[in-house]
Amino acid sequence: MVDSSQHGRLISTWSTHLNMVDSSQHGRLISTWSTHLNMVDSSQHGRLISTWSTISTWSTHLNMVDSSQHGRPSQHGRLGHV
């Protein structure tokens, strides 16, 4: 967003990064979301710089073992109510 006027110029840059990794071997889901917002107002009367950034990281570990092959409860984990 660029405003070309006699009072000044406004430049806004916005970037978003989304990264999702699913590791099937360990049953882990890692989601990383980061956003960066940078606004610069370059005018002859002054200069205004506003920077806004946020980083959100969400990770969870899920371990589900199907003990149908062994026919017995798994030692690594269990499903259901306790």
Each residue's pLDDT tens digit, 36-77: 555 555 555 555 555 555 555 555 555 555 555 554 444 444
Return the pLDDT at 58. 56
Q: How far apart are CA 51 and CA 15, in angstroms?
A: 12
pTM across the whole model: 0.20
The full length of the chain comes to 82
Tokens for 26, please give them. Answer: 């360990």
How far apart, in Å, do the first and last CA atoms of the chain sit? Answer: 56
Return the pLDDT at 48. 52
